[in-house]
Amino acid sequence: MTPEELSAAIRTALTEAVAAGDFTVDVPAEVRVERPRNRDHGDWSTNVALQLAKAAGMPPRDVATKLAERLGRVAGVKAVDIAGPGFLNITLDAASAGELARTIVEAGEAYGRNDSEAGHVINVEFISANPTGPLHLGHTRWAALGDAMSRLLTASGATVTTEYYINDAGAQMDKFGASVLASAKGEPTPEGGYPGAYVDDLAATALAARPDLLDLPDDEALAEARRLGYVAQLQDIKDTLADFGVHFDVWFSEAELHDSGAVEQAVARLREQGHVYDSEGAVWLRTTDFTDDRDRVMVRANGEPTYFAADAAYYLSKKDRGFDEKIYLLGADHHGYINRLKAIAACAGDDPEHNIEVQIGQLVNLGGAKLSKRAGNIIELRDLIRWIGTDAIRYSLSRYPADSPLSLDGEELRKKTNDNPVFYVQYAHARTSNVARLSAEDGVVRGEGFDPSLLTDPTEAALLAILGDFPRVVAQAAHLREPHRVARYLEDLAGHFHKWYDTCRVRPMSADEEITDLHRTRLWLNDATRQVLANGLDLLGVSAPERM
């Protein structure tokens, strides 16, 4: 019996109790069941009696008693106990609990997927680094978390589009182009420009593409150096993210936003909404009406639009493209953006509590990392991948909430010991794969027999219980935008599997031992664990190796 099936059984018991006149309540559309923290309290627990007691006009324990009587007659339910003020603790019989192993194996990659976020159309924007240099440690946290969050939302039924906002407009791009051109000429980096060997590489790329670059008039040479450097640097960013396992559905250019007239149109649209006014020669958006600490300039007195105007135009672009919900994942230095972005949403006629969500990722400190030789003053993501590996970085960043400052030890992340969480979880998956491989060599074949009533060892009951909790964990992690819940779940699951592995044999002890349904049924449980570990790691963008 899966948690979903148990939930449905409780709803049926409620419906029958109402029909019999035990009490009168509106039966909820869904009844939540959770795994008790203490395994002695049963396989599953629900507080539905406490939730309905007021409407029923009865003490919670009386409601629980009525439900317990009916649930006790449900096939597969071994015992129902009432605890505390009215909690129902439910224990399944071995056969009913063990049936979950077959359910998981047959569901395969679909196990854990759910429809809790169905109907949500979400744009998730993250990283959005300036294309003036390589990705570095400061971008890495949101690369890992943003991608994992998007995977979770998709697995929970949402329609998700991932987006990278390319900040390719403004003065920083002019300085970037001047830096590339200066390098091509063999001149020092201009004041306020971009130093680093990577600029020399970009200059060499530009010269290879345009051997006549230095023969062009100054303005043309600068524009061409900027264009060619930008194309090469953006491709480097894309290649690095591909190595990191991150894919974006949309690469949105700020320059194209300006060139299309969208910024001017945004100002006009917001003026029609009644939130734009003119003062001191500038054009302002009255964001103080919507919790911002001060109104914001959209167009300066000299006629130049501000970054804020581009932010407004970009928000409206997302709205126009049909994204009802927009998630912005921003760096630690962007706290001031929260209120102003929510103000833009309100000025655009949206609900800031529904249509926009802004999360701030705190800084990451990585001990032992070396500054990039190419970039000079940063720790490049590309170097981190070579040093530590994509899996270790992504998993380690995913297992902590985004709003907590994080300090990691690079050498610890490289260790192949159980003290390293990513190794601990991946090793559990490799061990399940090894069990399946060696079992096949011994002649233990899953399809020849499955008797879940044989799974009676306490470690098997505990393992089945945590496997059954996976869909709930996925749904909750998606709803709360917290991938770390999946990582911590996987570590818990790996621990339960290792205990089971140490206690229960899947393979025969010797060549003379008869292969029975117990061996085959345990192979089902082993393979179910392997599937859940693989599904969970995939949600974090981490591989599930079969050998380690």
Q: Per-residue pLDDT tens for 494-534? A: 999 999 999 999 998 888 889 999 999 999 999 999 999 99
Q: Encoding tokens for residue 345?
A: 């949403």
* Residue 22 per-residue DSSP state: S
Edge-first strand order for the sheet with 121-126 is 250-253, 159-166, 121-126, 325-330, 356-360
pLDDT tens by residue, the chain, 548 residues: 778 888 899 999 999 989 989 888 888 888 888 888 777 778 889 999 989 999 989 898 999 998 999 988 888 888 899 988 899 899 888 888 889 999 999 999 999 999 999 999 999 999 998 999 999 888 899 999 999 999 999 999 999 999 999 999 988 999 999 999 999 999 999 999 998 899 999 999 999 999 999 999 999 999 999 999 999 999 999 999 999 999 999 999 999 999 999 999 999 999 998 999 999 999 999 999 888 888 999 999 999 999 999 999 999 999 999 999 999 999 887 877 888 899 999 999 999 999 999 999 888 888 877 655 566 677 889 999 999 999 999 999 999 998 888 888 888 999 999 989 999 999 999 999 999 999 999 999 888 789 999 999 999 999 999 999 999 999 999 999 999 999 999 999 999 999 999 999 999 888 888 999 999 999 999 999 999 999 999 999 999 999 98
Q: How far apart are the first and last CA of the chain?
A: 34
Write down the pLDDT at residue 164.
97
The rounded Cα 104 to chain-centroid distance in angstroms is 22
pLDDT, tens digit, 9 for 90 and up, residues 144-169: 999 999 999 999 999 999 999 999 99
3-state secondary structure of 359: strand
Write down the pLDDT at residue 410.
86
State the burial class of residue 79 (Cβ atoms within 10 Å of its Cβ: 0-12, 13-18, 19+): middle
Distant-in-sequence, close-in-space partners of 396: CB < 8 Å, separation ≥ 6: 408, 413, 421, 422
Query: Domain spans of the chain?
Result: 3-92, 417-539
Give the rounded percent of residues in the chain with a pLDDT score beyond 90: 70
**Cα–Cα distance between 126 and 329 in angstroms, integer?**
5
Cβ 130 vs Cβ 99: under 8 Å: no
Cβ 59 vs Cβ 53: under 8 Å: yes
CATH class of 3-92: alpha beta
**Cα–Cα distance between 373 and 8 in angstroms, integer?**
60
**Cα–Cα distance between 5 and 76 in angstroms, integer?**
11
Full 3-state SS string of 130-142: CCCCCCEHHHHHH
The rounded Cα 537 to chain-centroid distance in angstroms is 11
Q: Encoding tokens for residue 104?
A: 């998981």
pLDDT, tens digit, 9 for 90 and up, residues 266-278: 999 999 989 999 9
Q: Encoding tokens for residue 113?
A: 């997927």
CA-CA-CA-CA torsion sign (483, 488, 493, 494)? positive
Q: Encoding tokens for residue 164?
A: 């990278």
**Cα–Cα distance between 376 and 35 in angstroms, integer?**
51
Helices 337-347/307-320 angle, 10° precision: 50
Amino acid found at 132: T
Write down the pLDDT at residue 119.
96
Answer CATH for 417-539 from 1.10.730.10, 3.90.470.10, 3.30.1330.10, 1.10.10.60: 1.10.730.10
3-state secondary structure of 141: helix
Write down the pLDDT at residue 376.
66
